[in-house]
Chains A and B, each alone.
Chain A
């Protein structure tokens, strides 16, 4: 297990060196998008319209932050459960997204897309929203403001602490639960 410092936009070379279990401190711009925002992004894609941010080299953070109190760029901002975005992630990887950030398991289709397009799935600690917000130094809503917590934000992160859950070589960090076969 190695430690890496990476900057956005992410490249194929960045992704190829990572393996499940590695720790990554990410710096640069990442974008928030979760359920409703993904649906709207796909409506834009299907209509052949431009997306509100560049997908090539991008990292999408599955997060719906709490409102920013005075004096802070953002409220609590931990990961949401990723499987709900599984229907969207393969197409986004094919279009240049390099990484998604969330918590929980991914589907086989997403894992295959990461292998095909040199992508990675990062885990952040679920429920550590206050702590993770310390790594977000700026945040600005850039699309779908009407979605409130689900709007797309451009977030500037500095040394955002991440764990490689799925790499582009087929590796996965999650353990398989030991279940007694009691039947």
Chain B
């Protein structure tokens, strides 16, 4: 049984929080540049120009890309043949969040749902654990901002609604959200499982790179179909019109109950702040 030290987990989490919030991922930057070249509307170009300048400034000054440094969400894969010594893994992740958000001058946005009193340290993090073969610990972090998250939805379709029903729901959701979630957005779509599982895999899909291709050609084709249909709606960067409404659509499809067709649409803002580490 391989042992992983508690302090290494805390340090890795703190570092990921700070890095993800100040460094725009290269795949997102590439998409911004590609969109700049393709957009003809001056306001769309200006928004994209500002976002690229913002990313440069953030990298240089270490100011977060966005003031909303999100709720800290983690997807953790724990190898069967490793164990963390010196602390409880969930608590160590929270400790890393406290440290990263404090040292990095990141905004702490966790609060009580009724009193709205801020918890003061960015915790509790939302942590999803998975047991996997091997002796490694993989921790993926995502800063999930409230504006985009609020535009997300879960629905339970009837099996007969099929792909047409899924498409219609997604397109209507994006149209209804309009300029609110800071387009160009990235959509994580979960199809299958149960009510809560669809939401979990929808969000996990956002960990994929924008320029990857889904290994199943049928799913890859559906992602492309949705992406094109959304970009044809003309919402554009910040809702000011244009060709770039989504930077990518990432789907995860899993088996479901024969009576069900669960669908979750998780909306992510353009900054797409995420990092992963393997210990």
Measured CB to CB, the residues of A under 8 A from B are 35-36, 63-69, 72, 75-78, 80-81, 83, 103-105, 123, 125-131, 133-134, 147-150, 163, 173-175, 177-180, 182
Contact = CB atoms under 8 A, between A and B. Distances in A.
Nearest to B245: A177
B194 interface: no
A170 B107 CA distance: 36
Contacts of B116: 35-36
B179 interface: yes
Given A66-B105, A175-B234, A175-B236, A130 B180 contact: no
Interface string B47-68: 1001101100110011111111
B42 to A, nearest CB: 9
17 contacts: A66-B64, A75-B64, A75-B107, A76-B66, A76-B107, A78-B68, A80-B147, A126-B182, A127-B182, A127-B270, A129-B66, A131-B53, A133-B63, A148-B108, A177-B175, A177-B233, A180-B229
A137 to B, nearest CB: 15
Contacts of A174: 178-179, 239-240
B71 interface: no
Interface of A is mostly: loop
Contacts of A173: 240
A67 B107 contact: yes
Contact residue range for chain B? 35 or more
Nearest to B109: A149
A81 B238 CA distance: 11
Interface string B81-104: 000000000000000000000000
B51 A104 contact: no
A128 B178 contact: no
Nearest to B239: A174
A65 B67 contact: yes
Contact of A77 (B67, B147, B167, B178): B67
A53 B215 CA distance: 57
B171 A179 contact: yes
B238 A126 contact: yes
Contacts of A75: 63-64, 67, 105, 107
A175 B241 contact: yes
A92 B170 CA distance: 35
B177 to A, nearest CB: 9
A101 to B, nearest CB: 13
A177 to B, nearest CB: 4
B57 A134 contact: yes
Contacts of B40: none
B258 to A, nearest CB: 26
B168 to A, nearest CB: 6
Per CB-CB distance, the 8 closest pairs between chain A and chain B, nearest first, are A104-B180, A126-B182, A66-B107, A76-B67, A177-B175, A131-B54, A129-B67, A130-B63
A125 B19 CA distance: 22
Contact of A104 (B107, B120, B178, B270): B178
Nearest to A181: B168
B269 A126 contact: yes
A148 B119 CA distance: 10
